[in-house]
Amino acid sequence: MLQYLLKRLLIFLPTLLVISLLAFGLSKMAPGDPVEQRNRDMGGGLQRELRDADRVYRETSEYLGLDKPVFYLSLSSAAYPDTLYRIFKRDERENLVKLIQQYGNWEAISNYYHAIRKADRGTEQLLGKTEAVRAVRPLIKQLYLAYKDERISSLLDKAASQTAGDSTLQATIGTSVAQLQETYSQLKAQASPGRLYIPDIKWYGFDNQYHNWITDFLTLDFGESFIDSRPVADKMGDALRWTMTMNLLAILIAYLLSVPIGVFSAVWKDSTFDRVTTLLLFVLYSLPNFWIATMLVVFFTTPEYGMDWFPSLGLGDLPPDAPFWQRFVEAGTHLVLPVFCLAYGALAFISRQVRGGMLNVIRQDYIRTAWAKGLNAQPVIWKHAFSNALFPIITMFASIFPAVFAGSVVIEVIFNIPGMGKLTVDAIFQRDWPVVYTVLMLAAILTMTGILVADILYAMADPRVSYGKDKN
């Protein structure tokens, strides 16, 4: 068994590696700038208008670990430098990539970029000293995101014209604007597009974003939320408590009811019990849970229909210092309807699977032999037949782990339960990427754990299943 577990782990490790690379890659390709988003969500939406905007941006980038290379190495062309990651602002970095793809000479592009920054700092120092700077400064700012020759030339000409028309501007930033025009002319004259076709491998070492991220993840440090700076582990811990409570209760109820129903339906095939349960379970399974949840909220939580039997949405409003039994009863009454919505669909599906598995087994010769020998019904059904009909149940068991973790998005949103499903949806809409990709990674780990547990249960349920090689 140990050998089998080691083999499975050797398969899981590269799978997790691939999943981690996909999750990390998606985080890098996600729309928006995480630094700008964090500053905005943390009350720094006006930082771009402040004199220390660059400092704030740089400090936030360093805090998030974005001041390091993305990966251990990169395969690109010789036209790309190995220091491009030091350009913190994503939009500026993407514009520099477009210039590289157009001209291929990083040295000339770097000189042009630094000339823009010099002119930008010059206009920043003139804020409030002359009205003309309000016309020149936006022109300089637009150069950060301009890559087409017509656009850049137009902006440079307008900036030079505005600067020449004001004596204060001419005296302070006239040289910077002229230098900016000169560096751009040199950039066009020194274009080397051929360097784009020369492959180049750049090694950055272990101090990179991916290495730091996966190392922190393996030590259960999932980072901080972009929205409220709370540790992701704390936010997920609060949500996971309610998700696991609901799903475990629903799974327990579903299995306790579905197994006997499925077994007796198979044993008493075509009986009144079998036909009635088949019809009822088919109806239950065909009803979408979001519709059932909505109807339950409308008819059983509102006094307008005279059936205010259950509390309204949420989990109640008792304070944390309230007596335990009061909080337990209040939370329990709020969870009745969500648990029912999660359980009835699983009940219908599992019972049909158990019935099908039992029908295949009780038709086998050894079951007929057991009946012919006059054995009692209990051992024949539950010891001989049911033990060999467990495979459909075990197969479904593999999906329980991620389901318990991820929760039900629809049910949690409708009933306003602060579980994992609602947390994930809110994180997606709010672009809280640390939460989203942590959920993705943990769901993948739990899925593979469920598959491993299912394989072990196969061998426990059927002696014919072996962990080792077939010696015959």
Encode the chain (472 residues) as per-residue pLDDT tens digits. Answer: 677 677 777 888 888 888 888 888 887 887 777 777 777 766 544 444 445 667 787 888 888 888 889 899 988 899 999 888 888 888 899 999 999 999 999 999 999 999 999 999 888 888 777 778 888 999 999 999 999 999 999 999 999 999 998 888 888 899 999 999 999 999 999 999 999 999 999 898 898 999 998 999 888 888 888 788 889 988 888 888 888 888 888 888 888 888 888 888 888 888 888 889 888 888 888 888 888 888 888 888 777 766 677 776 767 665 666 676 677 777 778 888 888 888 887 888 888 888 888 888 877 777 777 777 777 777 777 776 777 677 767 766 666 666 666 667 888 888 888 888 888 888 888 888 888 888 888 888 887 877 777 777 766 666 555 555 554 4
Please state, in angstroms and rounded to a whole number, the distance separating the CA atoms of residues 362 and 380. 9
The CATH number of domain 232-461 is 1.10.3720.10: yes
3-state secondary structure 398-428: CCHHHHHHHCCHHHHHHCCCCCHHHHHHHHH
Question: Would you put residue 32 in left (φ > 0), alpha (ψ -120 to 50) or beta?
Answer: left
The two structure tokens encoding residue 467: 């962990």
**CA-closest candidate to residue 115, choices 155, 175, 190:** 175
Please state, in angstroms and rounded to a whole number, the distance separating the CA atoms of residues 34 and 446. 28
Residue extents of the structural domains in the chain: 32-218, 232-461
Please state, in angstroms and rounded to a whole number, the distance separating the CA atoms of residues 62 and 67. 5
Q: Coil, strand, or helix at residue 73?
A: strand
- Residue 462 has, within 13 A of its CA and on its CB side, a CA count of 14
Check residue 165 and give its pLDDT: 87
Check residue 110 and give its pLDDT: 94
Check residue 471 and give its pLDDT: 47
Alpha-carbon distances, residue 343 vs 27, 252, 393 (angstroms): 34, 9, 15
The two structure tokens encoding residue 281: 């379970």
Q: Determine how β-strand 73-77 pairs with β-strand 199-203.
A: antiparallel
Give this prediction's pTM.
0.71
